[in-house]
Every structure is written in C-alpha cells, then in structure tokens.
Amino acid sequence: MSEVPAPLPMKLTILSRSASIPSTRRLVEAGRSRGHQVRVLNPVRVEMHLDGQRANLYYRRRKLSPTDVVIPRIAQSINNYGLAVVNQFAMGGVPLVNTARAIAESRNKMRSLQLLSAHGIDIPATVMAREAAELKAMVGLVGGVPVLVKLLQGQEKHGVMVCESLQSLEAALEAILGLGHNLIVQQYVKNTGVDVRVLVVGGRAVAAVRRRPRVGRLSYTLNRGARLEGIQLTLSQRQAAEKTASLVGLEVAAVDLLDVQGRPKVFEVNSSPALPEMEAATGLDLASLIIERAEVLAADGPRVGLPEPEPVAPLLPPAEKPRRKRLPRLSVGRG
C-alpha cells in the first residue's frame, strides 16, 4: 500500500486575539507538526487600506507578507472589526476557512434559525420580541418554562441562561432588555432531550459529544461546566449537522442540536468552536483535521473572495426601444 504524500509546506495565518488561547494554540501545534509556517495575528492590530484599486493589509504599520490560507477565529467582542479584516483578506484573493459572511450569519442567532427553518431543518420553538411583557406572554408558544434565554449575538462562553420559573424569566428579561440587548427565548427540553455538539469540517461531521450539565448547575454551554462524552452520531443527527453547516456556509462549524426522541433539533451554530474539550472527550486530533481542510482550500488556489457587482444597463432615451442583452458571466480571478 502506497504512503500518503506529505502536504506541501504552506504559509498559514490564524486570526485570533492571542496565540495562548487553547484552541488557537492547538491549531498552531497541528499546523507546525504538518510542516507549515504558522503565524497568529491579532485582528485588532491589523490595519487596512483601500483606494479603489488595491486592498492592502498591514500589521502594526508594516505591510503583511503573503499567506496561502487564513483560519479566522474572530471573538464576538471584536466582531465588526474582525470581519472587516477577514473580508480584506478575501479581497486579496486569499482562501478562507470561514468567510466573513458565513461567520456573520452564524453569529445572528435568529437570522440563522430563520435560514435553517426555511430550508426544512428542525429547530426548537423560538420567539423574539422587543418588550419583556410580550416575551413573557409568548412563553406558551415554546412549551412554557423552563426556557432558554439567549442574547441575539452572544458568545459561546456567555449569553445563555436557563429560566425555570416565570418569575426568574421576567427578572432576566427586564435586566437584559434594559441594557439594550436583543434576545430570543427558546424551548428547553430538560429531561427527555439529548444535548449534542457536532463538529463539521469541510461538509463532513467528524466528531460529536454529548453534553451533560453538572449536578446542581443550569449550565447549557460547553465552557461553563458541562461534562462531555464522545458519542457516535445517528444518521439523522449527522445529516442535520452537515446540512446546517452547508446552509450557513461554514467550512468549520460546531452545530448544537437537541435530540428529542430521535428528532434532532438544531438550536445554534458556532464558527469558532472550542477544540481541546472535544479532543479530550473524543480522543481525536480535531485541530489537524481543520489544518487538513485548510490545505485543500489553499491547494485550490487564490480566488476573488467578494462577488463582483452585476453590470448596470445604461439608461435609454424614451423613443428607443431597449434591446434585450445577455449579461456577461462573472469570472473568478486566479490571483
């Protein structure tokens, strides 16, 4: 049996606030173990320049050297600036593991749920409103308490709570809405549902864990005390996770779903999932799988990351009858 050839060395850029963040550190280790040059750039230290013809990037006022592929891990706290940096790389034709558009889509919880629901993905019952009284009145539409309360654009570590009574729900709603945050209220199946996180890489579900909140905690997220167990996915779980990642447009995604009596309901998508916890639970080298996907994207070559606008037909004088013209095809640049 012939050996699989080693990957060609490439220049890999990871956009992350710090190389010491555990998931970023794992990606750096995996990239270097495969022979690649890896650099970590803090997105807020990246400067951008546009003049209508060029899209340049600088880091601490020095022009950035070329890179073969970018893995964005943009924190919610710097979302707007970070996604502008990701877009700037795309304008330069650099392949991206996750595009700015897909990251933004996943970050808006209600919009991503609307997208999934419109394409036949089962989701938990969800309500959204601007007033605490309206949300409280609509709790019956999601099956009553307990419910999940989520910030519309919260982070993986924060922004999710479980309210087990109407009193606690009312207090939470008034406090959150009073701070100017938008939120959604979602069905929470406490005893009969199985809480599953699926890692999808390159359109394929590569790992899955079951999450069990520790005794006495109402935690519902990976990074706030839940105990993880590696599991084998059912066919329906696998299909739901892979279709979800494809619809949102993410090459790397953690798809969170609640399996209720064999029916997986997708309740969230994360574009920068925590890796060490899932690796420990599954025994898999997930960071290397992400690097391998980056290698494939880099091998496909540079591409124009933003679509060109369609040409606008010129205005014709009233007396002249416009002729139907076939619009030219949009071509994809190669550098």
**Predicted local distance difference test score (pLDDT) of residue 134:** 87
For the record, the structure tokens of 333 come out as 């640049």
Strand partners, 47: 58
Q: What is the CA radius of gyration of the chain?
A: 22
Picking from 45, 27, 36, the residue whose alpha carbon sits closest to that of residue 6 is 36
To the nearest 10 degrees (0 to 180), the angle between helices 235-248 and 109-118 is 120
Fold of 11-103: Rossmann fold (3.40.50)
Q: Which helix (H) or strand (E) covers residue 117, if one does?
A: helix 109-118
> What integer pLDDT is reported at residue 132 of this predicted model?
84
Query: Mean pLDDT for each consecutive 10-residue tract of the chain (335 residues)?
Result: 70 98 98 98 97 92 96 95 97 96 94 96 93 87 89 64 86 84 83 85 98 55 68 97 98 94 93 96 98 96 47 42 46 39
Task: Provide the terminal-to-terminal Cα distance of the chain, rounded to the nearest Å.
Answer: 37
Structure tokens belonging to residue 66: 């070329």
Q: Which two tokens stand for residue 259?
A: 């399996």
Reduce the DSSP state of residue 69 to 3 states and report it: strand
**Sheet of strand 193-201, all strands in order from the earlier edge strand to the far edge:** 227-230, 204-212, 193-201, 252-260, 263-270
Residue 311: what pLDDT?
41
Please report the pLDDT score of residue 154 as a whole number: 58
Tell me the two tokens of residue 79: 């979302």
Q: With residue 185 as reference, give the H or E element that holds it.
A: strand 183-187
Strand pairing partners for 256? 197, 268
- The CATH code of the domain at 125-188 is 3.30.1490.20
Contact 271, 155 (CB under 8 A): no
What is the β-pairing status of strands 183-187 and 193-201?
Answer: unpaired
Task: Quote the pLDDT of residue 126.
Answer: 94
DSSP 43: G
Give the model's pLDDT for residue 176.
Answer: 84
| Confidence (pLDDT) at 191 | 60
Place of tokens 């090459």: 251
**Neighbouring residues of 44: CB distance < 8 A, sequence distance ≥ 6:** 17, 78, 81, 82
- Report how far apart, in Å, the C-alpha atoms of 288 and of each of 23, 207, 229 are: 12, 13, 20
Give the start-to-end residue ranges of the domains of the chain. Answer: 11-103, 125-188
pTM for the whole thing? 0.83
